[in-house]
């Protein structure tokens, strides 16, 4: 298929032009017209999908975007703008609409969008599942569409040059060492008809597999290439080792990093990547849309689309590194997060995790939103009322003794401070009030009462470490003398480990020792510990203790994931805020580092960081999956953040499960319809924080849309999402208790896949992801004979 350019003309009543354009109905501000541009004198040939007397190689189509043009045009003096584009490879109709802005006439919208129809008289298509697991068998149907006025006999070929998969053994069986690089089937398709050639394959390698098919004949031809994700068996574990390279006072750095990859992982599932960036926020900047691996579909989690952009904009602006491209990207996320957060607002101007479906607003979340909106106000248009009205709601809930209690559902229990009587929540609310002081003095009395309560509690000296850290930061933000008492109390609970410094929630220390029994669960950081340590670092920076904060920074960076975030939402928001403030102190020129990552046997990868590329997040995958130790050898000047990120799969249910999972396949399930009943209960206490259940469907299955409706009205289920093309179901619970909560999950087989591997169901505490449970299930067994057709079934009783 030749690439067909076309003209898009914007102008007052812009007319269509000869040669098959799609004219638009003129609108008040502009018309939109489309005209094709001939790409060649003879576009109809075998390689382009038309007539010829001989076969020739086909052109393979591979560009299939879901959306296409999103451009801003300036019109000429006569009000006309012209845009020339090449259509993608998709056989479809593109709908083109637009709007205009004019200083005199304002905004105008197109009322009748134009259409661009991309068509060819002979073409093929591939219909693939979102993913399959290695070793499963899947049918790849190559659909052939013939809109010519005569019958076409065509050779349909599925190509396998890299040996990604093996074919079914319907043909003569190949030896294990011999890779069948292609297989061809001959079909005849009548005029204005469609046909199909099915290929039964078994993926043998992990990763994105190219599925390339061609159809050739003496009359027409076409080719299509798509990617199919082949996953390893089991469940994926993600690990990251982060290191701060500080060569400001020395010229060389060496460190050996051990990769804790167990011996019994799923074969070939390990993947190791090294990265380096010359900015403390570099990895976050590169991943603003995916800072954490958890879903974020509630009012508090949505703020992850919001707050980090404030940190990025503030830091880059102050360090004079803000580019137009970064600014527009961050502002777009900021505006999107702001608009989405408003959907979680109650009529009384409070906010809660699931909006009006919750009985009441949340004290903590409302304070979080008001504080964040105030911080964002200098970058985007946020009305004062969007900040002050939520604060008024909070002020109305203050207790007589000056404290604040959570009037809504407690999603983030650590904020309640355990035995500290809500000290952490009260301190957090104080930060929101203090942030508003340059807008209004309306809450001065509330602030005074809050401070008195905090000072009384700190004087007792019995507050837990989380409450102490938040209170120390809040009193420091208010710049009160009592901040020193809180700071000293916090400092007395610090943990020093070589050149690292951090704080831990007391309740987690015993659990941490227990987890060390399980090799694949070690090094898991509790999100609460990251949050505590980040608040502590903020207190250090309030006192201009930059040098003393470096050991804390090193510990935080050691806990960061490969996307620049951390385990959950609050730890990511607070930690990025703290790192951003320290980054302002450390920004500047003078970076010139050469970083070598050495690994056995004799392998090496080199990355260079300097002033010109300091914001560039550089990464490289190590060629060997068997590496278990990487040596970092850096020379030069300045500082950089280095990460060694790795992942692998395990066929284990998980260590020290904090939940009980029971997965039952209903008796009414068939090979084509799956009905699960999944029950979960909490075993690590009376109830969890907000919990999330992720249900992975077997390869070839997609969720039943009617079943989604049933899930949404299931008691205690607050929200339902689907991901990965409806093959992953995410359920949110405000809490899980010691009593079972059960959910039905219904799915249908929409792709022909056999010999499916076990798939996981995981439930976890959103604010403490170390508390989780995983179990596996399999659908009703489906054999090769159930999905094959024709010659592929000759040996279907044998494996593929």
- Model confidence over 716-730: pLDDT tens digits? 999 999 999 999 999
Q: Find out whether 266 and 650 touch, Cβ atoms under 8 Å.
A: yes
Contacts 24+ apart (CB under 8 A), 260-265: 260/519, 260/520, 260/522, 260/523, 261/628, 261/646, 261/648, 262/519, 262/520, 262/648, 262/650, 264/650, 265/520, 265/648, 265/649, 265/650
Whether the per-residue pLDDT at 7 is higher than 70: the answer is: no
Pairing of strands 137-146, 193-203: antiparallel
Q: Find out whether 756 and 782 touch, Cβ atoms under 8 Å.
A: yes
Q: d(Cα 497, Cα 282) in Å, to the nearest integer? A: 26
- Which pLDDT band, with edges at 50, 70 and 90, does 552 fall under? very high
Whether the per-residue pLDDT at 79 is higher than 60: the answer is: yes
- Which pLDDT band, with edges at 50, 70 and 90, does 798 fall under? low
Average pLDDT of the residues in 369-391? 96
Whether the per-residue pLDDT at 40 is higher than 90: the answer is: no
The answer, yes or no, to whether the previous bond of 601 is cis (omega within 30 of 0) is: yes
225-238 residue pLDDT tens: 999 999 999 999 99
- Which pLDDT band, with edges at 50, 70 and 90, does 14 fall under? very low
- Which pLDDT band, with edges at 50, 70 and 90, does 59 fall under? confident
Calculate the average pLDDT of the chain.
86
Q: Find out whether 653 and 618 touch, Cβ atoms under 8 Å.
A: no
Whether the per-residue pLDDT at 628 is higher than 50: the answer is: yes
**Residue 418 tokens, joined:** 């355990």
Q: d(Cα 552, Cα 101) in Å, to the nearest integer? A: 50
Residue 175 has a pLDDT of 55
Q: d(Cα 244, Cα 636) in Å, to the nearest integer? A: 14
Q: Find out whether 311 and 708 touch, Cβ atoms under 8 Å.
A: no
Q: Find out whether 244 and 265 touch, Cβ atoms under 8 Å.
A: no
Q: d(Cα 736, Cα 741) in Å, to the nearest integer? A: 7
Residue 85 has a pLDDT of 81
Whether the per-residue pLDDT at 521 is higher than 50: the answer is: no
- Of 38-42, 502-506, 689-693, the least confident: 38-42
Beta strands in 57-163 (DSSP E): 60-61, 81-86, 93-96, 99-102, 106-109, 114-117, 122-126, 131-133, 137-146, 152-159
Average pLDDT of the residues in 434-458? 95
Domains and CATH numbers, the chain: 5-117 (2.20.130.20), 122-231 (2.60.40.10), 654-786 (2.60.40.690)
Q: If you search the block for the tokens 């390279």, which residue do you land on?
A: 245
> Which residue, 273, 241, 272, 236, is CA-closest to 256?
241
**Residue 476 tokens, joined:** 């420091």
Whether the per-residue pLDDT at 512 is higher than 70: the answer is: no
133-185 residue pLDDT tens: 999 999 999 999 999 999 999 999 999 999 999 997 654 455 555 789 999 99
- Identify the helix (H) or strand (E) that includes residue 252: strand 252-258
Q: Find out whether 183 and 158 touch, Cβ atoms under 8 Å.
A: yes
pTM: 0.82
90-137 residue pLDDT tens: 888 888 888 888 787 788 887 778 888 888 899 999 999 999 999 999
How many CB atoms neighbour CB 176 within 10 A? 7
Residue 682 has a pLDDT of 96
Q: Sign of dihedral through CA atoms 542, 548, 550, 553?
A: negative
285-341 residue pLDDT tens: 888 777 776 666 788 888 888 899 999 999 999 888 899 988 998 999 999 999 999
State the burial class of residue 324 (Cβ atoms within 10 Å of its Cβ: 0-12, 13-18, 19+).
exposed
Residue 625 has a pLDDT of 84
Average pLDDT of the residues in 391-415? 87
Average pLDDT of the residues in 590-619? 94
Whether the per-residue pLDDT at 47 is higher than 50: the answer is: no
740-766 residue pLDDT tens: 999 999 999 999 999 999 999 999 998
> Which residue, 580, 577, 579, 565, is CA-closest to 769?
565
Q: Give percent above pLDDT 90 in the chain.
A: 64
Whether the per-residue pLDDT at 243 is higher than 90: the answer is: yes
- Identify the helix (H) or strand (E) that includes residue 496: strand 495-497
């Amino acid at each position: 298929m030749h690439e067909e350019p076309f003209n898009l003309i914007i102008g007052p009543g812009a007319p269509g032009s000869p040669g098959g354009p799609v004219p638009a109905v003129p609108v008040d501000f502009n018309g939109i017209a489309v005209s094709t541009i001939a790409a060649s004198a003879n576009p109809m040939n075998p390689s382009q999908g038309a007539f010829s007397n001989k076969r020739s190689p086909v052109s393979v189509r591979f560009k299939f975007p879901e959306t296409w043009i999103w451009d801003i045009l300036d019109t000429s003096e006569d009000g006309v703008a012209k845009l020339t584009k090449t259509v993608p490879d998709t056989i479809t109709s593109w709908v083109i609409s637009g709007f205009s802005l004019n200083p005199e006439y304002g905004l105008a919208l197109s009322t009748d969008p134009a259409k661009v129809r991309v068509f060819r008289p002979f073409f093929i298509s591939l219909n693939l599942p979102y993913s399959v697991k290695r070793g499963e068998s899947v049918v790849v149907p190559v659909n052939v569409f013939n809109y010519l006025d005569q019958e076409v006999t065509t050779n349909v070929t599925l190509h396998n040059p890299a040996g990604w998969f093996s074919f079914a053994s319907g043909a003569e069986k190949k030896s294990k060492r011999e890779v069948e690089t292609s297989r061809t089937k001959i079909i005849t398709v009548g005029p204005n008809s469609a046909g199909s050639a099915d290929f039964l394959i078994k993926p043998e390698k992990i990763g994105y597999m190219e599925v390339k098919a061609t159809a050739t004949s003496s009359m027409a031809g076409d080719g299509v290439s798509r990617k199919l994700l082949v996953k390893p068996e089991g469940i994926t574990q993600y690990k990251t080792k982060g290191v701060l390279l500080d060569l400001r006072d020395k010229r060389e750095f060496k460190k050996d990093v051990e990769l804790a990859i167990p011996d019994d992982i799923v074969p070939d599932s390990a993947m190791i990547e090294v990265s380096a960036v010359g900015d403390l926020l570099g990895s976050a900047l590169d991943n603003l849309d995916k800072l954490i691996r958890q879903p974020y579909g509630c009012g508090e989690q949505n703020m992850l689309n919001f707050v980090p952009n404030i940190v990025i904009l503030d830091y880059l602006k102050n360090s004079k590194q803000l580019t137009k491209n970064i600014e527009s990207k961050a502002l777009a996320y900021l505006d999107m997060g702001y608009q989405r957060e408003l959907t979680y607002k109650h009529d009384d101007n409070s906010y809660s995790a699931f909006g009006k479906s919750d009985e009441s607003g949340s004290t903590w979340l409302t304070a979080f939103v008001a504080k964040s909106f105030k911080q964002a106000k200098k970058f985007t248009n946020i009305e004062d009322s969007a900040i002050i009205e939520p604060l008024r709601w909070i002020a109305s809930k203050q207790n007589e003794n000056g404290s604040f209690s959570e009037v809504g559902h407690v999603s983030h229990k650590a904020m309640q401070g355990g035995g500290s009587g809500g000290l952490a929540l009260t301190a957090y609310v104080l930060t929101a009030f203090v942030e508003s002081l340059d807008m209004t003095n309306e809450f001065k009395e509330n602030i005074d009462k809050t401070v008195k309560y905090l000072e009384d509690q700190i004087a007792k000296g019995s507050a837990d470490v989380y409450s102490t850290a938040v209170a120390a930061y809040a009193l420091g933000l208010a710049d009160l003398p009592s901040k020193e008492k809180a700071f000293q109390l916090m400092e007395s609970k610090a943990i020093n480990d070589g050149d690292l410094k951090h704080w831990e929630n007391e309740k987690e220390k015993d659990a941490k020792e227990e987890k060390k029994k399980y090799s694949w669960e070690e090094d898991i950081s509790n999100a609460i510990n990251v949050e505590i340590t980040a608040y502590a670092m903020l207190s250090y920076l309030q006192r201009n203790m930059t040098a003393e904060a470096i050991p804390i920074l090193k510990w935080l960076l050691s806990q960061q994931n490969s996307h620049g975030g951390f385990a959950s939402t609050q730890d990511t928001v607070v930690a990025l805020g703290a790192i951003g403030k320290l980054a302002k102190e450390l920004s500047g020129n003078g970076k010139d580092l050469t970083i070598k990552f050495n690994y056995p046997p004799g392998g090496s990868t080199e990355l260079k960081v300097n002033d010109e590329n300091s914001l560039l997040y550089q990464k490289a995958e190590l060629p060997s999956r068997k590496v278990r130790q990487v040596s970092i050898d850096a020379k030069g000047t300045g500082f950089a953040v280095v990460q060694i990120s790795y992942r692998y799969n395990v066929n284990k249910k998980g260590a020290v499960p904090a939940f009980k999972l029971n997965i039952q396949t209903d008796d009414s399930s068939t090979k084509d319809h799956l009905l699960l009943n999944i029950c979960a209960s909490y075993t690590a206490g009376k109830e969890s924080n907000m919990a999330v259940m992720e249900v992975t469907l077997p390869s070839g299955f997609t969720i039943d849309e009617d079943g989604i409706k049933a899930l949404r009205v299931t008691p205690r289920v607050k929200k339902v999402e689907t991901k990965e093309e409806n093959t992953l179901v995410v359920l949110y619970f405000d809490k899980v208790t010691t009593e079972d909560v059960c959910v039905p999950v219904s799915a249908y087989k929409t792709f022909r896949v056999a010999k499916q591997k076990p798939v996981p169901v995981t439930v976890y505490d959103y604010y403490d992801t170390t508390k989780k449970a995983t179990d596996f299930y399999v659908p009703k067994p489906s054999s090769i004979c159930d999905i094959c057709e024709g010659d592929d079934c000759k040996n279907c009783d044998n494996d593929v």
